[in-house]
Amino acid sequence: MAIAAFIDHTLLKPTATIPEIKQLCDEAMEHQFYAVCVNGCHVALAKKELKDSPVKVAAVVGFPLGAMSTQAKIAEAKDCIQQGADEIDMVINIGWLKSNLDEKVLEEIRDLKTSIGEKTLKVILETCYLTAEEKERVCKLAVQAGADYVKTSTGFGSGGATFEDVILMKKTVGSKVKIKASGGIKDKQAALKYIELGVSRIGTSSGPSLLK
């Protein structure tokens, strides 16, 4: 199986330098990864580096806390798309979900999707902070809101992707939306297991070493 086609080659550290972003893009082209995933300030650079290649640019929005205003997230998402992003990975408002403000969570995801039009929207749940019931609820909200993916984690929380979470997410969303596993995926065996469980994309900063 060609794992490379599932990988979002990721560099989201606050310390990421311009040469490191360029290297990320070079590696993505060399290994034919599906996309690179970067912070908003690096989108234009990544787009330029990946010119004439099939590698997509994914940008994170509301990252990593998800606790800024909806309007701020929308402005950030629109800016990333203008700079050349093909996909947006947004963090939900975790506090709203935990406060049972489901309508607000739904509206925010829907508003983000509306603001980026045909571009792909991945909704980051940050599963390490959620109960099983909350994970199910937010998966259903993401489907209802018209998201394209539900995604496990930012990689900046207290935990990353787990097989259990992906099984729960798959059971909840079925084939209505796709699933992205991210956070702490560093070896080939784990990546293959996630693919077997039904994920369509894997977010990892260990892409090249994972292929070995």
pLDDT tens readout for residues 167-197: 999 999 999 999 999 999 999 999 999 999 9
The pair of three-digit structure tokens given for residue 69, joined into one six-digit string: 């205003």
Region of 19 on the Ramachandran plot (φ > 0 left; ψ -120 to 50 alpha; else beta): alpha
Residue 35 one-letter amino acid: A
CA dihedral 88, 91, 97, 102 (to 10 degrees): -10
β strands within the chain, DSSP E: 7-11, 35-38, 56-61, 87-91, 120-124, 149-151, 178-182, 201-204
| Predicted pLDDT at 1 | 66
pLDDT of residue 70: 98
Q: How far is CA 204 from CA 44, 102, 118, 211, in A?
A: 21, 30, 25, 11
The C-alpha atoms of residue 119 and residue 7 are separated, in whole angstroms, by 18
Query: In terms of CATH, what superfamily is 3-210?
Result: Aldolase class I (3.20.20.70)
Q: Which residues are tagged catalytic?
A: 89, 151, 180
- Which residues of the chain fall below pLDDT 70? 1
At residue 212, the pLDDT reads 85
